[in-house]
Amino acid sequence: MRIVRSLRLASLLALAAPVALTVAACDHVERTNVDPARELWATAGDAIRTRTTELRTRQQALAGRIGALEVPDGTEDARLAATITELQGQVGALDQACTAVEGSLRQVTADVEFALSKPNKIAAKQVVDTGLASFGAAADEAKRALDAVTPQVATAEALVQRLLDGIAAEVKRLGDLATSGGTADFSDIDFRVGTAELDFSHPASKATLERLVNFARACDQLRFNLTGHTSREGAPAVNKALSLARAEAVKGYLVSAGIDAVKIGKTDGLGSAQTMVDEPEPGSPAEAAMAPDELDNRRRKNRRVTVQVTAPCTTPVATPPTAPPPPAADAIPPGAPRGNLPPAVERTGNAQPTNPARPVRGTNP
């Protein structure tokens, strides 16, 4: 029995040997066909190319936004101007960071393609891993630079929009003043210290005067007065004369810009008799206790010109009466004189003017 069993076992082993050899051979072929470097690069290569494009697109968008930043005409903002200057200085660095990413992509691609052309698949996998790590470092550096600049650009854009909104509000205020009447103060018109000479060192001064010119052109029937005011510095009598001279200076600017002097009813000067905001008496303890910037801001607001509309654009304009048309010929009794009728009517008895007069139109209200 033992001999029979041994023979059967030997037979089974003999049959199993070819099968084992076949399986081993197939496994060897399958492992030989595995190429981890090529498989990794097939997906990672596309990913880093996409990331390179995204970084460059973002950089170009930021550069465009930075290039569009500027302090609006007629305004000034030291913080905004400094931010714009700083951002403009970073445009080149952002471009260089993205250029480094693009260079890394080209280098990694060349290295991997060369490694994949060689039979050593383990070495090729190491090249892919090293290249992806190198590219990742460059891409992360570019992203950090872009992330740092993005909120600065947004802040600058918000400051620009705030100034633009202020301009729009001022234009609306003047438009409402022209159409509805009322009184408005303008403290952005600057004068040289102690004089009635206009000072254009601040852009807002010129811009305010130009907006007043446009206000005065709103309609023909607009009429208004100008009143000058000063801060509480100086003698009251001197301030009163100075405020009148400054109101006259504003009138002179408007007239020189083509505004009819008839529109400006009168000019007046009140000195510091009607301050717009509280201002401490010069030399007083309250003045000494106030912060210099706050004191200067209050005095600047009190140095102003007031526009008082006496006839807004809604004032009706009297239309001159028109002469009544001549009566029709058939309405004239027989024998009545026809001396005022056109020759054609005299001959035919029918008024048939060849060039009738256009209807008279009044000024827009």
Q: How far is CA 343 from CA 332, 333, 338, in A?
A: 15, 18, 10
**Does 358 have pLDDT greater than 80?**
no
Query: Which residues 6+ apart lie within 8 Å of 354 measured at CB?
Result: none
Q: Count the neighbouring beta carbons within 10 Å of the beta carbon of residue 299.
A: 20
Lowest mean pLDDT among 6-15, 183-192, 346-355: 346-355
What is the longest distance spanned by two Cα atoms in the chain? 166
Q: How far is CA 164 from CA 70, 169, 206, in A?
A: 11, 9, 16
- The residue ranking higher by pLDDT, 151 or 21, is 151
pLDDT at 193: 83
Q: pLDDT > 90: what percent of the chain?
A: 71
Question: What would the pLDDT profile of 94-142 be if each residue is shown by its tens digit?
Answer: 999 999 999 999 999 999 999 999 999 999 999 999 999 999 999 999 9
pLDDT at 33: 59
**Does 11 have pLDDT greater than 70?**
no
**Does 239 have pLDDT greater than 80?**
yes
pLDDT at 1: 52
Average pLDDT over residues 272-286: 91
Average pLDDT over residues 33-61: 94
What pTM, to 2 d.p., does this model score? Answer: 0.70
Fold annotation for 35-168? Helix Hairpins (1.10.287)
Which pairing describes strands 223-228 and 305-311: parallel, antiparallel, or unpaired? antiparallel
> With respect to CATH, is domain 181-311 assigned 3.40.50.1390?
no
Average pLDDT over residues 252-281: 94
> In whole angstroms, what is the distance from residue 126 CA to residue 108 CA?
12
**Does 357 have pLDDT greater than 50?**
no
pLDDT at 359: 37
Question: What would the pLDDT profile of 219-234 be if each residue is shown by its tens digit?
Answer: 999 999 999 999 999 8
Are 185 and 276 a contacting pair, CB within 8 Å? yes
> In whole angstroms, what is the distance from residue 61 CA to residue 341 CA?
76
Rounded mean pLDDT of the chain? 84
pLDDT at 345: 35
Q: How far is CA 75 from CA 72, 80, 167, in A?
A: 6, 11, 8
Question: What would the pLDDT profile of 117-127 be if each residue is shown by its tens digit?
Answer: 999 999 999 99
Question: What would the pLDDT profile of 146-187 be if each residue is shown by its tens digit?
Answer: 999 999 999 999 999 999 999 999 999 999 999 999 999 999
**Strand ranges of the sheet holding 305-311, from the earlier edge strand across to the other edge:** 182-186, 305-311, 223-228, 264-269
pLDDT at 314: 79
Are 220 and 243 a contacting pair, CB within 8 Å? no
Q: Could you give the 3-state DSSP secondary structure of residue 20?
A: helix
Give me the amino acid identity at 185: D
C-alpha angle 178-202-240 in degrees, rounded to nearest 5: 65
